[in-house]
Amino acid sequence: MHFHMIIVAVFWFGFVDSRKIRGISSSYKRFFRERKSFLCIDGSKIIPFEQVNDDYCDCEDGSDEPGTSACPQGRFYCTNLGFRPHYIPSSRVNDGICDCCDASDEYNSHAHCQNACWNLGQRERAYVEGQMRTLDEGLQLKQQLIEEGVLLWREKQAQLRELQQVAEDLQTKLEERRSRKQEADRLKEQTPRPPEAGDGRLFRGQNSTVTGTFKLLDSNKDGSITVDEVQAKVALVHDEERVLSEDEAVIKDTHGAPGVGEDPPLKVADREWEATNLKKVEEAYDTVNMEISDLREKLAIDYGPDWEFLFLNSQCYKLKVYEYTYTLCPFNQVTQQSTAGTEVSLGRWGMWEGPPKNQYGRMVYENGEPCWQGGSRSTTVTLTCGTETALRSVKEPSKCQYIMDFQTPVACQPVLKQRGIHSEL
C-alpha cells in the first residue's frame, strides 16, 4: 500500500516537470530552470529560453533539445517509471518506433505505443530474482567446488610427489638391473643360445610400448596413473621374479645336472630373465616419468585463484546443434562430430582470454583442423554463471571460428550481486 503511494507521488512530480522540459532526468533539471535565456550546457552559447526544445538545434552539444530529434548528438531521457530509466539517441525520438517503455519518445508520431514499463519491470524483477537465486545457488556450489578443488589440487600435488618418489625408486632399481644384465651378458659368451624361455608374464600379450605399459599400469582406466597403481604393478614385477625363480627350479629338476654349481641352461634363462626384467623396469620408469611430466603440465595450467576450475579438467560436455554434436573437454580440446560420424577438432586448449575485469570469463582453444582458406579452426568459450555445468550453445559466426557458451557455478562472481534494478522506485 505504502509502495503504491510512492509510485503515485513520483509519477505526479515527473509529470509536472516533463510538461516543461521533455527528455531530461531529474539531475539535469537545474540546467533548465525557466529563465529568459538558456546557456548551452557546454557553455558555448546563450539562447532565448523559448528555443529550448523548439525542434531546432542551437547548441553544439545538443543540450537545448533534450526532448526532440533536432540535435545529431543529442540524447533523450526515458523516465520509464516502473522500469529502468535510460537514455536513447535523439534520433529515436518520434521515429515511429517505441523505444521508451513509457512511450515518452513517441509523443508526436504515428506510432501507437503502450506504456509497458510496469510489465517490463515485473518481468525484469522476476528475471533478476531468478538470476539472484541462480547466483546464490551457484556461489554455494562454487564454494563446494573450490573446496573440492583445493583437495583435488593437494591430492594431485601429493600424487606428483609420490610419482617422483616412485621414479627415484625405479631409477635405483634400473641401475641395479642394468648391472645384473651386464653380468648376464658377460656369461652369455660362454653358453649356447637356449630355446624360448622366461617369457615375462607381466607384459605378455602387450606391446612393449610406453602406451602398452601405461595401459597396464592404469588399472582403473581413468587415463592417469596413480602411485597405488604403479606400486601394485611394480610389486607384481617383484613377485614374478620370485615365481619365475621357482619355475627355474622346476626346469632345473627336470633336466637335472646334480652336483654341478653353474648350470648352463639356468644361466641362459637367467640372462633372458635379466634382459626382460631390465626392459620392464625401463618401461615402467619411462611411463612414470611421462606421467610426471603430464601431471606437471596439467598442474601448470591456471585453474583460477582457488583451483575452482580444476574439477573440469577430466570432464567433457556435449551439445547437439542441428546435425552436429559438439564436445568440450575443458583444458583439453573441442571437437565436432557430424551425424555421419566424422570427427573434427575445433581446437586444443590454448589459454584464458577474458577481459581484465573477468580474466576467467573466456577460454580459447586453438589449432584445430585446418580450414579450406588457410588457418585452422578455433573455439572461444564464454563462461557464464549457472547452477549446472553444461554447454549451452555453439555458433560459428565466421567459417572455422566457433563460439561456445559454457555455464558453470564456478563462473559465478559475487560482484554480480551488487547489480540490481535501478529504477525510479
| Least gap, CB of 347 to other proteins (angstroms) | 15
**Partner residues linked to 364 by β-bridges:** 351, 380
Name the β-bridge partners of 335. Answer: 327, 345
**What are all long-range contacts of 210-214, with beta carbons under 8 Å and residues at least 24 apart?**
210/283, 210/286, 210/287, 210/290, 213/283, 213/284, 213/286, 213/287, 214/287, 214/290, 214/291
Q: Which is nearer to other proteins, 373 or 418 (CB)?
A: 373
Task: Calculate the alpha carbon distances from 371 to 366, 377, 378, 396, 400 in Å.
Answer: 12, 6, 10, 13, 7
Q: Identify the helix (H) or strand (E) that includes residue 296.
A: helix 264-300
Among 100, 111, 51, CA closest to 77: 100
User: 54 or 162: whose CB is closer to other proteins?
Assistant: 54
The residue (of 94 and 226) whose beta carbon lies closer to other proteins is 94
Q: Closest approach of Cβ 374 to other proteins, in Å?
A: 8
DSSP 218-236: -TT-SSS--HHHHHHHHHH
Smallest gap, in angstroms, from Cβ of residue 89 to other proteins?
A: 6
DSSP letter for each residue of 60-107: TTSTT-TTSS--TT-EEEE--TTS--EEEEGGGTTSSS--STT-TT-T
71 vs 281, beta carbon nearer other proteins? 71
Residue 21 near residue 66, CB atoms below 8 Å: yes
CA gap 402, 397 in Å, rounded: 7
Q: Which is nearer to other proteins, 191 or 345 (CB)?
A: 345
Q: Smallest distance, Å, CB 322 to other proteins?
A: 5
Pairwise CA distance, residues 238 & 277, whole Å: 10
d(CA 379, CA 403): 5
CA 351, 353, 356 angle in degrees (round to 5)?
135
Q: Which is nearer to other proteins, 214 or 402 (CB)?
A: 402
Min. distance of Cβ 318 from other proteins in angstroms?
18
Closest distance between other proteins and the C-beta of residue 386, in Å? 19
CA distance 345 to 314: 18
User: Residue 367 half-sphere exposure, CB side, CA atoms within 13 Å?
Assistant: 5
CB of 401 to other proteins, least distance (A): 7
CA dihedral 58, 59, 61, 66 (to 10 degrees): -70
At 72, list the grid cell. Answer: 545529431
Which residues make up the interface to other proteins (CB under 8 A)? 54-56, 58, 69-70, 72, 89-92, 95-97, 109, 322, 371-373, 395-401
Kindly give the pairing relationship between strand 401-408 and strand 378-385. parallel
CB distance 290 to 215 below 8 Å: no
Which of 12/56 has CB closer to other proteins?
A: 56
Nearer to other proteins, 43 or 72 (CB): 72
Closer by beta carbon to other proteins, 326 or else 331? 326
CB of 370 to other proteins, least distance (A): 11
> Given the complex with other proteins, which of 96 and 305 has the nearer CB atom?
96
Shortest Å, Cβ 48 to other proteins: 10
CB of 96 to other proteins, least distance (A): 6
